[in-house]
């Protein structure tokens, strides 16, 4: 049994920062969604890249799997040590290393959360825009290629990570990318690592693009009689070239759940929540143009807000939507689906999904970042009810099929983890085999987060 020997060596390396107490193991055994708990053998809290390198080498010698942990907010079980081994929690590598305001970039350690980063950046006039809702760690966001409400304007983690320091499975540390705004210097290792879910390396440092805090911000919410016109309004808005900062869809069930939990007092019909960033003049012009388009599709009950406090209340409610929806049916767990389709197929995708859920035995509020063609259904399953779980899994599988048949992807932003593994071959065909070949090249011992993203 190699584990005790390996843990002894790790304790020599990390002292009391190698923990195997029941409380710590429990805390690192659960995801935020329906996946079964999976406890690691130990939790490590490294403080330096060198410690991560030494840790990986020790685990490699003993065949002990290594799984990275940021804030534990991923939705497809990416951070669960389903094969046991060591969970590497980056809580003690959470510093800002360098801010370059004139170049609008920042170098950080992976454990810092996006909210902490933005608090620290406030005085610079800059911010990091990627916003998946949860207060995720930046390292975890990079590794799952997170996006969220603002991707329609500012892009995803793919677009906002300029460079990385990564510890590979053999313990080497490499630096990828640079602080230049573009490069043609060899294979895009940064892009290969972003979205690799810790299966190709452990990120120990990130260089991120920052953006100027907008001079003016305006948010609005408006109601539609039905899903179709709401989604058609989104498509018309995006195609008109209006530079939305956020454009979110909430179906009537989602609105009802948010009303109940956050006292929004909205009519319980489909809604769009939008936000504009820019100069006072640009925001006013774009908001007016959006209003005209939305009205063409029957939007009513516009509530505009340029006050930070009111806006924050609205977006806090949106960010809490998942929890509000869970509360709407006590005693449930959720399959949180996530598909993304070309914009022209969005209305069809949402309406077919809605009808499919309506015909099923379980509730499934729909919401999403529809400016990207990306939406979710929160499929609510009574805990321990195998029949409901089967129904939810079947709905989720049909959503994935629908996404692929419409030219889209089975996950717009939540990633593969365990939940989307079963659809990868259908989406990528032989390309999924190629992903496994890359994994084998960089991690021949299948040490890093085994069982996620690819199958070997």
**Is residue 123 at the binding interface for a copy of itself, with CB under 8 A as the rule?**
no
Integer Cα distance of 141 and 195 in angstroms: 8
What's the min distance (Å) between Cβ of 192 and a copy of itself? 5
Q: Which stretch binds a copy of itself (CB under 8 A): 87-95, 101-109, 260-268, 300-308?
A: 101-109
Site string for a copy of itself, 40-59 (x = CB under 8 A): --------------------
What's the min distance (Å) between Cβ of 20 and a copy of itself? 32
Q: Which stretch binds a copy of itself (CB under 8 A): 63-71, 88-96, 169-177, 384-392?
A: 169-177
Partners of residue 137 on adjacent β-strands: 113
Find where tokens 């995803």 sit: 156
What's the min distance (Å) between Cβ of 313 and a copy of itself? 28
**Contact pick of 442, 445, 446, 455 for a copy of itself (by CB under 8 A):** 442
Question: Which token pair is 42?
Answer: 């130990």
Partners of residue 167 on adjacent β-strands: 173, 202
**Is residue 102 at the binding interface for a copy of itself, with CB under 8 A as the rule?**
yes
Alpha-carbon distance values, 176 to 68, 187, 189 (Å): 19, 10, 6
Nearest to 148 by CA among 133, 161, 135: 133
**Contact pick of 168, 169, 223, 325 for a copy of itself (by CB under 8 A):** 168
Alpha-carbon distance values, 43 to 6, 23, 92, 159, 372 (Å): 13, 11, 12, 31, 37
Binders of a copy of itself: how many residues, by CB under 8 A? 81
Q: Which is nearer to a copy of itself, 179 or 390 (CB)?
A: 179
Integer Cα distance of 138 and 90 in angstroms: 10
Q: Which is nearer to a copy of itself, 39 or 141 (CB)?
A: 141
**Contact pick of 11, 49, 83, 100 for a copy of itself (by CB under 8 A):** 100
Nearest to 216 by CA among 145, 110, 136, 305: 305
Query: Torsion-angle region of residue 446: left (phi > 0), alpha (psi -120 to 50) or beta?
Result: left
Give, as ranges, the residues between 403 and 432 that touch a copy of itself (CB under 8 A).
403, 407-416, 420, 424, 427-432
Give, as ranges, the residues between 371 and 410 that touch a copy of itself (CB under 8 A).
372-374, 403, 407-410
**Contact pick of 15, 16, 185, 330 for a copy of itself (by CB under 8 A):** 185
**Contact pick of 47, 159, 351, 356 for a copy of itself (by CB under 8 A):** 159
What's the min distance (Å) between Cβ of 145 and a copy of itself? 4
Helical segments of 76-188, H only: 114-121, 138-143, 151-154, 157-160
Q: Which is nearer to a copy of itself, 51 or 105 (CB)?
A: 105
DSSP 239-263: HTT---SEEEEE-HHHHHHHHHHH-
**Contact pick of 342, 355, 383, 456 for a copy of itself (by CB under 8 A):** 342
């Amino acid at each position: 049994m190699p584990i005790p020997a390996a843990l002894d060596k790790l304790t020599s390396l990390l002292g009391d920062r190698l923990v195997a107490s029941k409380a710590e193991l429990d805390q690192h055994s659960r995801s935020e969604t329906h996946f079964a708990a999976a406890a690691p053998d130990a939790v490590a809290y490294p403080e330096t890249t060198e410690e991560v390198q030494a840790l990986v080498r020790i685990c490699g010698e003993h065949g002990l799997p290594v799984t990275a942990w940021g804030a534990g907010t991923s939705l497809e079980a990416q951070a669960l040590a389903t094969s046991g081994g060591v969970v590497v929690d980056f809580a003690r590598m959470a510093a800002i290393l360098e801010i370059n305001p004139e170049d609008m970039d920042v170098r950080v350690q992976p454990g810092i959360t996006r909210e902490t980063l933005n608090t620290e950046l406030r005085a610079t006039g800059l911010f990091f825009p990627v916003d998946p809702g949860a207060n995720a760690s930046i390292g975890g966001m990079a590794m799952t290629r997170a996006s969220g409400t603002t991707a329609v304007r500012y892009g995803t983690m793919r677009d906002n990570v300029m460079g990385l320091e990564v510890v590979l499975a053999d313990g080497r540390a490499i630096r990828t990318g640079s602080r230049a705004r573009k490069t043609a210097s060899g294979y895009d290792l940064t892009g290969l690592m972003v979205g690799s879910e810790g299966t190709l390396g452990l990120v120990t440092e990130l260089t991120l693009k920052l953006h100027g805090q907008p001079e003016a911000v305006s948010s609005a919410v408006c109601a539609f009689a039905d899903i179709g016109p709401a989604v058609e309004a989104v498509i018309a808005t995006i195609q008109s070239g209006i530079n939305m900062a956020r454009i979110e869809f909430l179906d009537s069930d989602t609105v009802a759940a948010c009303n109940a939990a956050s006292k929004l007092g909205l009519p319980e019909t489909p809604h769009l929540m939008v936000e504009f960033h820019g100069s006072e003049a640009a925001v006013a012009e774009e908001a007016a143009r959006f209003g005209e388009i939305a009205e063409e599709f029957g939007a009513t009950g516009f509530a505009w807000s340029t006050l930070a406090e009111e806006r924050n209340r609205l977006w806090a409610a949106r960010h809490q939507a998942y929890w509000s929806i869970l509360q709407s049916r006590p005693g449930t767990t959720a399959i949180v689906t996530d598909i993304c389709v070309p914009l022209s197929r969005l209305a069809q995708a949402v309406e077919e999904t809605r009808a499919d859920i309506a015909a099923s035995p379980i509730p499934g509020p729909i919401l999403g970042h529809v400016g990207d063609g990306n939406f979710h259904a929160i499929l609510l399953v009574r805990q321990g009810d195998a029949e409901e779980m089967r129904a939810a899994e079947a709905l989720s599988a049909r959503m994935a099929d629908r996404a692929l048949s419409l030219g889209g992807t089975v996950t717009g932003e939540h990633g593969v983890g365990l939940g989307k593994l079963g659809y990868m071959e259908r989406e990528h065909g032989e390309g999924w085999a190629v992903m496994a070949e890359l994994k084998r090249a960089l991690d021949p011992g299948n040490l890093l987060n085994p069982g996620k993203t690819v199958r070997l």
